[in-house]
Amino acid sequence: MKISLRLLPLTLLFVVLLSTASGQVVPTNEWVHFYSANTTLNSSPIPVGALIDAYDPDGVHCGADTVRTAGEYGFMNVYADDNITTPGVDEGADEGDDITFYINGVLATPLGPDDANYVSTFAILEVDLGVSYELGILLTAPSDDGGSPNTYVDYSFALTNTGEGIDFFHLDAWSEGTWTAELISPATTGYMNSGSVTMVTVRHHIPGSALPFETDILHLSATSAMSLESTILADTAQVTTTAETSAAGDHDPFIPGVFELFQNYPNPFNPTTRIEFSLERAMDVELSVYNVIGQKIATLTDGFYSAGTYDIEWDATDETGRKVASGIYFYRLTTDDYSRTRKMMLMK
Ligand SMILES: [Ca+2]
Ligand SMILES: [Ca+2]
């Protein structure tokens, strides 16, 4: 079958559109094996994970393989049309058909030594392929967010394949500080078509020990498995999570059977206030006061307490005995396993 050179690109475009619409290879009882030990992407050995697809001149998807060893593919079965049992359905090639190959959805050039032709059933043909195309990744971060200690914030990053071919991505999420990052969806690896966008959900866990206004940075990176070693293609994006603490502590998890930290009284206050807490059992506790940027300014008590209810006064002075300014402060009770924080206001 001859196609004029002028018509070739449009015909091939049609083939791709048709094939991605119809998709699956239908195996028949006759095929040709194609293979290569010298197939390249952008002049380097084709990487593991690359997708090779074969089409007959009718645009039928009649062969598929995934690269398992860099630079190689095959044996890859390219199937014939079964003209006897399914005369009305075209499953693939007829003898003498030229076969068109795509790598990651991009037209590949057959480089021999054998012709890319369904010469005769059960032939074994060595056809090296070469393809060149641009790779591209774009990761877009959502807005910064916040949440209470002992909870988490889910972020949706947009991952776009801005390259010209299908790519195979590796995702990696991590936290810059001591908090934890968890990739929720999709899986850590996956294929994406050129131009497509995938939303990646990453969960940033805020530990119970996080102080008010403490922040941590969450990173997400996407790396292309199709990029070559010398030019690793990757993109990263980041968001900052802030630990928040509400006045009533209404986002704090309830900690039954351990302790309770009550709202200070009076509040707002001037010049002193009382902070009450109760312990269900004996334990080490620390009660401290923090300013709005998360700095500890006073330790009200730190020691071993038996079970019971206690009441501690704060006279609005810092560790050095100086009076602190009007404004919002946090007080926090910390035990070996838990902590709880509440907000109070000094109003002079
Ligand atoms: Ca058929
Ligand atoms: Ca056919």
In contact, 198 and 205? CB cutoff 8 Å: no
5 CA from centroid of ligand 2 (Å):
21
**CATH number of the 137-243 domain:** 2.60.40.10
CA distance 53 to 30: 17
259-346 has the same fold as 137-243: yes
94 CA from centroid of ligand 1 (Å):
10
**CATH number of the 259-346 domain:** 2.60.40.4070
Per-residue pLDDT of the chain (348 residues; tens, 9 = 90+): 333 434 444 444 444 444 443 579 999 999 999 999 999 999 999 999 999 999 999 999 999 999 999 999 999 999 999 999 999 999 999 999 999 999 999 999 999 899 999 999 999 999 999 999 999 999 999 999 888 888 899 999 999 999 999 999 999 999 999 999 999 988 888 899 999 999 999 999 999 888 878 889 999 999 998 987 656 889 999 999 988 764 334 444 445 567 888 889 998 999 999 999 988 888 899 999 988 777 889 999 999 999 889 999 999 999 999 999 998 898 888 887 777 778 889 998
84 CA from centroid of ligand 1 (Å):
7
pLDDT attached to residue 51: 95
> What CATH architecture applies to the domain 8-131?
Sandwich (2.60)
Which ligand sits closest to the CA of 30? 1
Name 150's bridge partners: none
pLDDT attached to residue 323: 94
Which ligand sits closest to the CA of 89? 1
Nearest Cα to 179, choosing from 214, 135, 223, 227? 214
Nearest Cα to 71, choosing from 103, 47, 101? 47
The whole-model pTM stands at: 0.64
85 CA from centroid of ligand 1 (Å):
7
Residues contacting residue 124 through CB under 8 Å, at least 6 positions apart = 32, 33, 35, 75
Q: Where are the domains positioned within the chain?
A: 8-131, 137-243, 259-346
118 CA from centroid of ligand 2 (Å):
11
75 CA from centroid of ligand 1 (Å):
23
CA distance 50 to 80: 24
